Amino acid sequence: MIEPTHDASAPADAGTLGTLGEAMSSTAGERRTRVIPLRAAPGERAAWGRSAGTVYLWALVEWLVVTNALQPSSRLRVAALRAFGATIADGVIFRPRTRIKFPWNLEVGADCWIGEGVWIHNQDRVVIGHDAVVSQETMITTGSHAHRRDMALITRPVVIEEGAWVTTRCIVTGGARIGRSALVTPGSVVRGEVPENAIVTGNPAVPVGTRFSDGDR
């Protein structure tokens, strides 16, 4: 995702934006910024890792068993995920409305809690260590695009180490590694390494403290 820069001290109204657009057009003349043709972009099927039939069947099972808010059983969710190749240890709890893109790219250690509405968009490997928590509405995504070249899919794995807690409505992007017993505060965006035992916050998430003191570790 590319975030445009702007002057926060001078919010633009419709008239300002129109004037700015006219100025840019007159300056640029005939030169226009290129647009990448998405029809020619390398497709996401390269990351499927299974046949189309398996992917489509999983989409149906996910909708019926895993995402379905009317299906209350965590054990049934875990069984469905394991049947499609996920490695899930004992004692893991999956709440309703969970979404898992490709279960065969998922590994979850013992006694983890996966909160309601968590979306694991794992076109690459996602590994969650034992006793870790991923709270409500958090999104873990391993994919991005070559936005200056051809919008080809780029994937990188995500690792959440044992005992870490990713709290509600966070975003964890491809290549992130969240250290042992680290804590990610609500609404944060993790883009790289989170040190062991750190408390991180913001976009991008940066350390603001430690979770356990030396006497507690």
Structural element, H or E, at residue 56: helix 52-61
Q: CB neighbours of 73 closer than 8 A, spacing ≥ 6? A: none
pLDDT of residue 1: 42
pLDDT of residue 13: 44
Q: Is 7 exposed, middle or buried (0-12, 13-18, 19+ CB in 10 A)?
A: exposed
Residue 104 token pair: 């065969």
Tens of each residue's pLDDT in the chain, 217 residues: 444 434 444 444 444 445 555 545 455 557 899 999 998 888 778 889 899 999 999 999 999 999 999 999 999 999 999 999 999 999 999 999 999 999 999 999 999 999 999 999 999 999 999 999 999 999 999 999 999 999 999 999 999 999 999 999 999 999 999 999 999 999 999 999 999 999 999 999 999 999 999 766 6
Instruction: Say which amino acid occupies 46.
Output: A
Q: Which of 176, 98, 104 is nearest to 137 (CA)?
A: 98
Q: CB neighbours of 164 closer than 8 A, spacing ≥ 6? A: 129, 132, 133, 178, 179, 180, 181, 182, 183, 184, 194
pLDDT of residue 12: 44
Let me know: does 127 contact 157? Beta carbons within 8 Å: yes
Let me know: does 156 contact 138? Beta carbons within 8 Å: no
